[in-house]
Amino acid sequence: MAVELRAIGTVARLQIQRSTLKIGQKPHRVYDTSPLLAVAQLRVSPDGAIALLPDGQEIIDVHHREHPQSQYAGVNGLSIGFTSHYARMRVRFGDHLFEGCAGENVLIDTDELPGLSDVERGVVIRCAAMGVDLWLGDVRIALPCLEFSRFALRLPQAERDSSEVRRALQFLEHGTRGFYVTPANPGAPVVVSLGDRVYFRV
């Protein structure tokens, strides 16, 4: 039986986190986007993402299972986000929330505002570089953290229990902050490129 797919958009940005974006010690930890590295291609597997640079260099994402200081927690090896959610966040918080600042590996360009009910059946990226489909499952909401919420508010030292931070955390729930996904393809890793088409499984 054929799987029904619905086109949702295209890959607009690919990136890795060379190190954690949360800098310092609690309760004074701050959110720093400087470790982000945008690239044209990622090699992805159930272990996580690796950036492929034009000169042949490869740089491993901090959430990859094999990173020396890995932040891998079993379900967060790969993450996705949507440009429409960034547009919504900028209306709420301001233009400093540039696309990709939440740290997702794959940013998908779409006019829709996908929630968990749209994404949970699975996401498919049609990878032109290899002529294969990358199937992404085990979808989970990437819950907003205190540090990113304070970054959105431009309040690096605000406390979690402040009303403003609580409202920001609530706004960023339900997938606005992004989703964790796990590649379901057997065998070799798959290369994702900018411009690859993206579909939801329906």
Query: In this structure, what token pair is assigned to residue 122?
Result: 């699975």
Separation CA 12–CA 93 (nearest Å): 22
Residue ranges and CATH numbers for the domains of the chain are 5-201 (2.40.33.20)
Other CB atoms within 10 A of residue 128 CB: 15
Query: In this structure, what token pair is assigned to residue 20?
Result: 């954690």
Which amino acid appears at position 186 of this protein? P
Q: Which helix (H) or strand (E) holds 107?
A: strand 106-109
pLDDT, tens only, 14-36: 999 999 999 999 888 999 999 99
On whether the CB atoms of residues 198 and 11 are closer than 8 A, the answer is yes
pTM equals: 0.96
On whether the CB atoms of residues 45 and 183 are closer than 8 A, the answer is yes
Which one is predicted more confidently, 186 or 23? 23
3-state secondary structure of 199: strand
Task: Using pLDDT thresholds of 50, 70 and 90, give the confidence band for residue 168.
Answer: very high
Residues 45, 146, 21: CA angle, nearest 5 degrees: 45
Separation CA 37–CA 44 (nearest Å): 15
pLDDT, tens only, 69-112: 999 999 999 999 999 999 999 999 999 999 999 999 999 999 99
